């Protein structure tokens, strides 16, 4: 597994828990609006961390940090992900996985082996628009499968969508709702441009307008136990 970053302390990445965050290097998608090009595009990879350094840090933080978030990049592309999570679990930490949902087999295995306590999956678009929105040859059956596995699992989870003006529409959000309905928590993240985008041409794009976000909130706030818009 390639690790491209490690944040020792976070109050926002694992709902309700103080956490550390591991950022893996490498992703099988090329979402143009992704803010993590240094974790996605190999030409921007600058350094990598050794797994042992992180495990040592976590050994010394027992009792001070409750959880570990593994994000990226895309963690599930690494066959040795379960090995790393097992080492972290043995130290007594809760684990949250952030995923693009492209590897349902891995997600299933992690749930079955009780190696994750929380999964956050990005649902990037309605299935028929997935390839256009992510600029990637996505197997949409796998996306559907991951959604079902996560939704039907007993573990805490959330689905989330980054919305971009001119890319997504209100009707897309209605279609995404049909994919994820029955789940507890849905988060809309309003896009903002930054210097680190995978595709620089997206620096001119913006998120949804306030009015559109208000319309979405009105429609969805009572359809999930927890629904919110991150701006
Ligand atoms: S947004 Fe996620 S899935 Fe898309 S390129 Fe970035 S890390 Fe990969």
Mutate which of 22, 29, 136, 160 for ligand 1 pocket (most atoms within 8 A of beta carbon)? 29
Whole-angstrom Cα Rg for the chain: 17
Break the chain into its structural domains and give their ranges.
3-230
pLDDT tens, residue by residue, 156-183:
999 999 999 999 999 999 999 999 999 9
Please tell me the distance between residue 44's alpha carbon and the centre of ligand 1 in angstroms. Answer: 14
Is 30 close to ligand 1, i.e. is its CB under 6 Å away? Answer: yes
**Tokens representing 165?**
């003006």
| Residues 184, 201 contacting (CB under 8 angstroms) | no
pLDDT tens, residue by residue, 88-140:
999 999 999 999 999 999 999 999 999 999 999 999 999 999 999 999 999 99
Distance CA(28)–CA(40), nearest Å, equals 8
Q: Using alpha carbons, select from 109, 178, 187, 185 the residue that is nearest to residue 144.
A: 178
pLDDT at 47 over 90: no
Considering only the top CATH level, what class is 3-230?
Answer: alpha beta
What's the pTM value of the predicted model, to 2 decimals? Answer: 0.96
Please tell me the distance between residue 34's alpha carbon and the centre of ligand 1 in angstroms. Answer: 6
Instruction: Supply the DSSP symbol for 12.
Output: E
């Amino acid at each position: 597994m390639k690790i491209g970053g490690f944040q020792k302390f976070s109050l926002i990445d694992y709902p309700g828990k103080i956490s550390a965050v591991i950022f893996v290097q490498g992703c099988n998608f090329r979402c143009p609006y992704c803010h993590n090009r240094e974790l996605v595009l190999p030409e921007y990879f600058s350094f990598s961390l050794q797994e042992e350094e992180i495990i040592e840090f976590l050994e010394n933080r027992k009792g001070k940090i409750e959880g570990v978030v593994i994000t990226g990049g895309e963690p599930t592309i690494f066959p040795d992900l379960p090995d790393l999570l097992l080492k972290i679990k043995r130290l007594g930490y809760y684990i949250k996985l952030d995923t693009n949902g492209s590897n349902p087999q891995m997600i299933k295995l992690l749930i079955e082996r009780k190696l994750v306590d929380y999964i956050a999956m990005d649902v990037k678009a309605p299935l028929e628009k997935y390839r256009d929105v992510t600029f990637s040859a996505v197997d949409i059956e796998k996306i559907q499968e991951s959604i079902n596995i996560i939704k039907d699992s007993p573990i805490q989870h959330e689905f989330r969508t980054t919305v971009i003006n001119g890319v997504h529409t209100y009707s897309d959000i209605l279609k995404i709702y049909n994919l994820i309905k029955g789940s507890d928590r849905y988060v809309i993240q309003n896009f903002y441009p930054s210097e680190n985008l995978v595709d620089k041409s997206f620096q001119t794009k913006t998120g949804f307008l306030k009015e559109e976000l208000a319309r979405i909130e009105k429609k969805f706030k009572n359809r999930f136990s927890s629904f919110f818009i991150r701006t």
